[in-house]
Amino acid sequence: MDFFNSPFKEDRKFVIKYVNTLTRDNISNAGQHIETLFFDKIFSLLLRYDKDDMNKLMIFDILCNLINHEQHRAKLANQGYLAKIYQSMRIGEIDDKTLTKLSWLTTLICYHNDMLEQIVQLRLLAFIIRLVDSKFNATIRSNAVLGISLLTYHETLFDELLQNGVIDLVMELSMDRTCDLSVKMNSTLALVHFALSKKSIKLLIDRNIMEIFTGLN
């Protein structure tokens, strides 16, 4: 039976849930299943779903599992799968649940050093900065700030971080009493990363970073 062309949502949900569990628990031994079921079938559903939230969110879970596997991560990047996601899902046009999943996927991409080319090509820094806005929920903002913190490890991106005023942004968030605790914690982590860099330490000193750390204490 072709589950993907079935008129019944539960049929598709079963297969998507199966692949989600497989990529979570046994991804190293699931190569053929991932190729046949995810890359050939399930991924295309992600770009078609609008109100079918449960299936769509599970597909994002699969993507997050794949991002943490070197071989599948490379395929997502090199064969344009990630580009299709960011081109089709624009901030302001997708619901909060989907944007929350997308923000976490973005954070995971920032974690991996071999994704630097994708980070630059997809302009993920600009995307992340937009997600820090207070109009988004705390989880989205926290994921975004954690993404910024992870980007500080990419030396190639460091100047771009400075040029985009990211230091001022995370300093403001770390001292904002109205921010959710997770946002403040990840902002402080980003500040610590900036403080460890010769490129940004003088900038931080000029902005009285020690007073901020004392205040956080």
- Out of 43, 66, 88, pick the residue that ends a domain: 88
Does residue 80 lie within any of the structural domains?
Answer: yes
Supply the angle between the helices 166-175 and 181-195 in degrees, to the nearest 10. 140
92: nearest Cα among 143, 127, 138, 52? 127
What does the mean pLDDT of the chain come to?
Answer: 86
pLDDT of residue 137: 95
Which range scores top for mean pLDDT: 37-51, 73-87, 148-162, 177-191?
A: 73-87
- Looking at the fold, whether 83 and 136 belong to one and the same domain comes out as no
114 within some domain? no
State how many domains the chain has. Answer: 2
pTM equals 0.86
Q: Is the same domain home to 12 and 75? A: yes
8 Å CB contact between 77 and 117:
yes
Q: Are residues 128 and 51 in the same domain?
A: no
For residue 134, give both structure tokens: 């207070």
Residues 59 and 138 in one domain: no
Please report the pLDDT score of residue 93 as a whole number: 85
- What range does the domain containing 137 cover? 124-217
Q: Residues 171-212: pLDDT tens digits?
A: 888 888 888 989 988 988 888 888 777 777 776 776 666 666
Q: Cα separation of 132 and 130, whole Å?
A: 5
* Residue 209: closest CA among 161, 160, 175, 164: 175
Query: pLDDT tens digits, residue range 83-135?
Result: 999 999 888 888 899 999 999 999 999 999 999 999 999 999 999 999 999 99
Q: What pLDDT, on a 0 to 100 scale, did the predictor assign at position 216? A: 55
* Judgement on whether residues 205 and 137 belong to the same structural domain of the protein: yes
Q: Residue 101: inside a domain, yes or no?
A: no
Residue 215 scores a pLDDT above 80: no
pLDDT at 153: 84
Residues 6+ apart with CB under 8 A from 141: 131, 132, 133, 134, 179, 180, 183
Do the domain assignments include residue 113? no
Q: 198 to each of 155, 193, 194, 195, 216, how far by Cα in Å?
A: 11, 11, 8, 8, 23
- Find, among 12, 13, 11, 35, the residue nearest to 23 by Cα: 35
What token pair was written down for 95? Answer: 């619901």
The answer to whether residue 165 is domain-embedded is: yes
Q: Residue 148 — very low, low, confident or very high, per pLDDT cuts 50/70/90?
A: very high
> Last residue of some domain: 44, 63, 88?
88
Secondary structure (3-state) at 79: coil
Q: Are residues 84 and 132 in the same domain?
A: no
